[in-house]
Amino acid sequence: MNINALYNEWLEKATADPDLKAELESVKGNDDEILDRFYRCLEFGTAGLRGVIGAGTNRMNYYTVCQATQGLSDYLNAKYEQPSIAIGYDSRIKSDYFSKEAAKVLAANGIKVYLFKELEPTPCLSFAIRYFHTSSGIILTASHNPAKYNGYKCYNSNGYQMTDEEANETYEYIKKVDYFTGIKTMDFDEAVQKGLIEYMGEEVIDAFLDEVIKQCVNPQVTKNAGLKVIYTPLNGTGNKPVRKILDRIGVKDVTVVPEQEMPDGNFPTCPFPNPEIKQAFECALKMAQTIKPDLLLATDPDCDRVGIAVRDNDGEYKLMSGNEVGAMMLNYLLSQKKGKGLLSENSIAVKSFVSTDLAEVIARKYNCTFKNLLTGFKYIGELITQLEAEGRADDFVMGFEESYGYLAGTHARDKDAVVASMLICEMAAYYKTQGKSLAEVMDDIYDEFGYYYNTVSSYTFEGASGMEKMAAIMDGLRNNAPSSFSSMDVTVIDDYKTSVSTVLADNSTSKIDLPKSNVLAYTLTDGNKIIVRPSGTEPKIKAYITAIGKTKEEAKEIADRLIADADALMK
């Protein structure tokens, strides 16, 4: 591939968006900048596309979005007689623009498009796919990434993200599309007049919220508990639907962070709009000093994930991890449903395999079947779809991922911060009537089951050399498997790429009955764990660490030692 020839071709032909021409002119003669934009094409996988907004084959722009959409159109037309699709978008820079351009391409290919009138959460898109019985869905979002990123996620007719097979088939079509000569498009207004593009009405969101509210297990408790909440949508899509659902369940004392209320893809007060990090709560925490709420809520820009901070016994606000919230929500749902006689004999809960094992221990207490699946909420979506096909949809209690993604109910097939925000507030209200904060509830859970200290270390590898480094690290771990971490023997190695689980004591092996994934998991003495996994959407390797102790101090000491070992592996 001749990078300079590619650059010159784009400089000449990339005229659809004036921003691209200006950017390409600005990097003329800068070999490093040109290389970064053209050294590869954005790959289309089960997470769709994700990249920095800008000019080039390695950027999110009109041409990469429309190439992907033309390929998707070809795939859908080959697979369905009369395909249709739902499209949503978030508050990110160019999300609304990309959504309309994608709609024009699909319409030009004869595919009926249902388009949201305004930005909406990702779970609403998942719901809309099933509401309209469409063949597919697209949402323009980069979730919690910094402002310079955008993304393009594709869904199948079941409402969850494309499977590996579907994504691979689509990518084969995409690769055949020339950026400048292979894309069909048409006038947007003409497509609307012909009925090829149809705006979705407010009734879709109302129907979504009607399904969400069915997940309440103590529907009256929030009306009388006097719960006080500070909420931030982090300049994203959660503002309207989260406030609506909280109002509907009777949580009236909700203060919204004004600087982060309205959609803004620049995220001016929060460069990393990620509810996993404290920075996302800084504005809310300042307000909390005077408002003194029971709870702080933060949803990420596409409102599929939610983080919380709760007041502890000292009056300070403590951020709770995704693992803690997932375990606590599961404990709440199981205990309340069991107490009300609503828990199915064949109940089932599920999490990603990198999330806390505490949830599995809690489920065991209530005789609830528990499953661990690969990271990616589509696997939870697949499980729900399978249960529904078997007439067992009501058996599903909840699913979650440690990265702040939760789903109760089967209305969506992706993580849903709207239903999670509602249940967190219900849970907080219920325990408030018992004189307990959520921090105290979590302490009670640790006292009962042991302290599970879960942490994630991320290692970033930027650019072309970074991709090579990531591959070399994973190959090195496979070729020279560690026998111990921090003086703790490795007892089991699970290689999800080869689907082989090996017990080191006798070298016996068994098959891992999950889709193949580039992940290595090491089980250590006393149930401690290290799981190493390259990110599917970012240039990172993540090390997920589980340390178990009788106390937080004991568990953290183990975790610190394991983190040091993980750091050494990534050099």
Strand ranges for 186-263 from DSSP E: 197-200, 228-232, 253-256
Three-state secondary structure string covering 529-559: EEEEEECCCCCEEEEEEEEEECCHHHHHHHH
Helices (H), 352-462: 358-365, 377-389, 417-432, 438-449
pLDDT digits (tens, 9 = 90+) for 516-551: 889 999 999 888 999 999 986 678 999 999 999 999
Distance from C-alpha of 444 to C-alpha of 492, rounded to nearest angstrom: 31
User: Would you report the helix, strand and coil content of the chain in percent, each value rounded to 5?
Assistant: 40, 20, 35
Taking each continuous run of H as one helix and of E as one strand, the counts in the chain are: 19, 23
Angle, vertex CA 203, rays to CA 197 and CA 207, nearest 5: 120
For residue 218, the SS3 value is coil
Packing angle between helix 438-449 and helix 322-339, nearest 10 degrees? Answer: 80
Low-confidence ranges of the chain (pLDDT < 70): 1, 536-537
The residue among 375, 414, 416 whose CA lies nearest residue 540 is 375
Q: According to the model, what pLDDT value does residue 537 have?
A: 66
Q: According to the model, what pLDDT value does residue 458 have?
A: 92
Give the pairing of strands 149-155 and 112-116: unpaired
The residue among 143, 126, 87, 96 whose CA lies nearest residue 537 is 143
2 burial type by CB count under 10 A (0-12 exposed, 13-18 middle, 19+ buried): exposed
pLDDT digits (tens, 9 = 90+) for 167-202: 999 999 999 999 999 999 999 999 999 999 999 999
Look up residue 365 and give its two tokens.
């207490």
Please answer whether residues 456 and 543 qualify as being in contact, where contact means their C-beta atoms are separated by less than 8 angstroms: yes
pTM for this entry: 0.92
Active-site hit among 143, 157, 355, 517:
143
**How long a stretch of residues is the chain?**
571
Partner residues linked to 400 by β-bridges: 351, 406
Q: According to the model, what pLDDT value does residue 387 have?
A: 97
- Known active-site residue 143: yes
Distance from C-alpha of 523 to C-alpha of 503, rounded to nearest angstrom: 10
Which amino acid appears at position 307 of this protein? Answer: G
Please answer whether residues 320 and 369 qualify as being in contact, where contact means their C-beta atoms are separated by less than 8 angstroms: no
